[in-house]
Amino acid sequence: MKNLLVLPQLRCYFEKDLPDTQVLLVAGGRKPAAEWLIQAADLFPVWCVDSGIDSCHANHIIPERLIGDSDSATFQGWTWGQSLGIPVEVYPAEKNLTDLQLALQRVGVVHGQAAVTLTGIWGGRFDHTFSNIHSLKGCEDFGIRGCCAADEKEVLILLKGRESICIETALPPEVVSLLPLSTECTDVSIEGVHWPLTNVILRDALPYAVSNRPHAIHREIRASIGTGWLGIYLCWNGDECYGSSF
């Protein structure tokens, strides 16, 4: 199905078709759990961004490409990446764009149309996370679609105006929040949660639609937006939110 995005703990059915190519960018923030990353790498071609190569090295995942200035990767991880015979793009440490932004641009050059999922971006400094999320939102400027940022604990799915989604999870998330990523999001609706919303306006100056939770009797969460950029955030507190039961 061209409108389907699969992660180890969930499936997302978008109203609009996704590009034929989907790519997983592994960055250098909080390392995803080994089992989660191994499962995700079976679903997508993998690109590594700087110290994301260390996560792949530790889990014997061969990426298609390595991009970065190597300032945060370990010597062992970067050397291993260089030994794989894959394209390695090295940039200077002093530059305007981040390694992740350069990688998003290169996905557009190499693949043309592609859907991108980021991992290894949570944890650490808030300014890095902020930049990463908004870079994913803005990567359509490079001809690609930013779909989500994810690991085993946190998932943020992006919706842009006149789009809807159905999310199926292996285990219910502890938290479901709607985050307006533009000045205003109109006609926002969500169902399958304790506090449903119907055709409301969400503004980034007052992001109140947070800390919701799945409805006990529903296995699906459905959301839609009329205009703007909306982030659908799901969080699991336990170490395992996926597995053979999905």
Helix, strand or coil, per DSSP, at residue 55: helix
Give the pLDDT of residue 243: 58
Count of structural domains within the chain: 2
Per-residue pLDDT of the chain (246 residues; tens, 9 = 90+): 689 999 999 999 999 999 999 999 999 999 999 999 999 999 999 999 999 999 999 999 999 999 999 888 999 999 999 999 999 999 998 889 999 999 999 999 999 889 999 999 998 889 999 999 999 999 988 889 989 999 999 999 999 999 999 999 999 999 999 999 999 999 999 999 999 999 999 999 999 999 999 987 777 999 999 999 999 999 998 656 665 455
Residues 4, 219: Cα–Cα separation, whole Å: 17
Residues 111 and 212 occupy one common structural domain: no
pTM comes to: 0.94
Residues 4 and 76 occupy one common structural domain: yes
Q: Classify residue 23 as exposed, middle or buried by CB count within 10 Å of its CB (0-12, 13-18, 19+).
A: buried
Residues 169, 9: Cα–Cα separation, whole Å: 6
The rounded Cα 233 to chain-centroid distance in angstroms is 10
The CATH number of the domain holding residue 98 is 3.40.50.10240
Residues 52 and 125 occupy one common structural domain: yes
